[in-house]
Amino acid sequence: MTSTLFPAVRRSPNFTPVLLFVNACGSFLLLVSLSTRVGSATGSGLLAGAVLSAPWLPALLLAHPLNRLLRRHPPEHLVRAAEAASLVLTLAALAAPGRALAAVATVLVLARGFCEALTRSATSVALRAAVDPGRLERANTLAEIGKLTGVSLGAALAGPAAAVLPLRGLVAVNAALLALSALLAWALPSPAGNTRANTTAGTDRTGGTDGEAAGGAGEDAEGGRLRVTDPVLRRLFARFLLVAFWQGFHTVAVTVIPLQVLGGGTRLVGVFVAVSSVAVFAGSLTALPAQRHLGHLPSAAWALAPMPFLATAVLAGRTAPTLVLYALFLVLFEVAYVHFNNRLLAAATTEQLPAVVTLRATLLPLGVVVSILLTGALCDLAGPLPTALAVAAVSVLVTASTSTSGQTWRSPVRDT
């Protein structure tokens, strides 16, 4: 069937960014619209936030089944199955009666969360298997840009679309986009006989082979346990979760800084949100040409580079300087995310990769939630400036604790 839909010459991993763009755009168009409707109908910000967080929950609860699927089935097959399942669930929701549609749509985004986590994780495994190691970082970065662009566009269109379409119409639009992403899933190649994933992409930071990098993790890999015992990967995961900590702070700061630091109102919050969205998107685009240089500096540099801009943005306390400095913080924030994400995917051995992408799909949102709670409470108790300084201090401590003497973690993969 794959050869009928897409001839071999047209099956390419280059379809991955487009697939992720279409998938994320439709999902966030419906998700943000549904969250707004729930918040307006109930007057509860907590319920609105719960709807936005709903897709994260299945991946957290079903991490072990996700890991087993990634280990036992070809990744391109998993992407096709996940997109088809999402489409079937969305079409089924269209049959719900009018009064029950909002409740059904809420359950829909919760149930589809596992499918979306499976799509994102399996596409990472598929890229690793199908892309030449020399171009893996570029492929992963393009995939991240595709996903982020879809998230940004879907969220931006949610308001205008909800103004002209009823909820059933939004569900139908989401179904149409899922049909397109399901077709794109059939364009992904089957990396049968591809041995690239077993060569240089699995080399660890110290130059060891795959077997050496596993360092005692072989039993866990064979048993399918959701564990990473390689110390290099553990350190990279710590820094990757540091980025999740920044994301949680940003979720709080995007409201707190314009209101409490700048003394503005809801209009300034809207400006701050818009500038932040542009800055994060610009950071993902900046990471693409920067791939040639990201590995030339120690990994610690990318963990610490955003912090001076964050601290000075809050210390400035004036609208224009704070907006500019905070935007620069977010640009470097996104570059750091791309850097550590690429390092994780490149450093993992073939046996470790399913566990790595599963933990990424579960620990990243968990880290964001914990960070939101901690930084939100600290903002309430001490204010934005001490919170920003605490974020910088945590970044320094995590970076120092995950450093090794004489180890710069330079990239073993070069973009050509």
What pLDDT score does 349 carry?
80
DSSP string, 63-108: HHHHHHHHHHS-HHHHHHHHHHHHHHHHHHHHTS-GGGHHHHHHHH
Report helix angle 63-72 to 101-130, nearest 10. Answer: 40
* Burial of 295: CB neighbours in 10 Å, binned 0-12, 13-18, 19+: buried
Where is 366: in which H helix or E strand?
A: helix 353-382
Task: Write the CA distances from 17 to 141, 218, 223, 229, 393, integer angstroms.
Answer: 9, 32, 32, 31, 35
Which pTM value belongs to this model? Answer: 0.72
48, HSE (Cβ side, Cα atoms, 13 Å)? 13
Using DSSP's 3-state secondary structure scheme, residue 318 falls into coil
Q: Residue 4 is which amino acid?
A: T
Show the tokens assigned to 131.
């892309």
Tell which residue, 355, 352, 295, 326, has the closest CA to residue 137: 295
Q: Which long-range contacts (CB under 8 A, 24 or more apart) does 154-157 make?
A: 154/24, 154/25, 154/26, 154/27, 154/28, 154/29, 154/31, 154/32, 155/28, 155/29, 155/32, 155/277, 156/277, 157/25, 157/29
What pLDDT score does 217 carry?
37
Q: How far apart are CA 153 and CA 155, in angstroms?
A: 5
DSSP string, 120-153: HHHHHHHHHHHS-GGGHHHHHHHHHHHHHHHHHH
Where is 393: in which H helix or E strand?
A: helix 384-401
Q: Per-residue pLDDT for the chain (416 aa), expressed as one digit of tens each?
A: 444 454 544 567 788 889 999 999 998 888 888 877 776 677 655 566 677 777 878 877 888 888 889 888 898 899 999 999 999 999 998 888 877 888 888 888 888 889 988 998 899 888 888 888 778 888 888 888 888 888 878 877 877 888 888 889 999 999 999 999 999 998 887 765 444 444 333 333 333 333 333 333 333 444 456 677 778 888 888 888 888 888 888 878 887 888 888 888 777 877 887 788 788 888 888 877 776 666 677 777 888 889 999 999 999 989 899 999 999 999 998 888 888 888 888 788 888 888 888 888 888 878 887 888 888 888 888 888 999 999 999 999 988 888 764 444 444 443 33
What pLDDT score does 49 carry?
64
What pLDDT score does 410 carry?
42
Tell which residue, 331, 23, 61, has the closest CA to residue 176: 23
Q: Which residues contact 143 (CB under 8 A, 6 or more apart)?
A: 16, 17, 20, 123, 124, 127
Tell which residue, 314, 351, 88, 93, has the closest CA to residue 213: 351
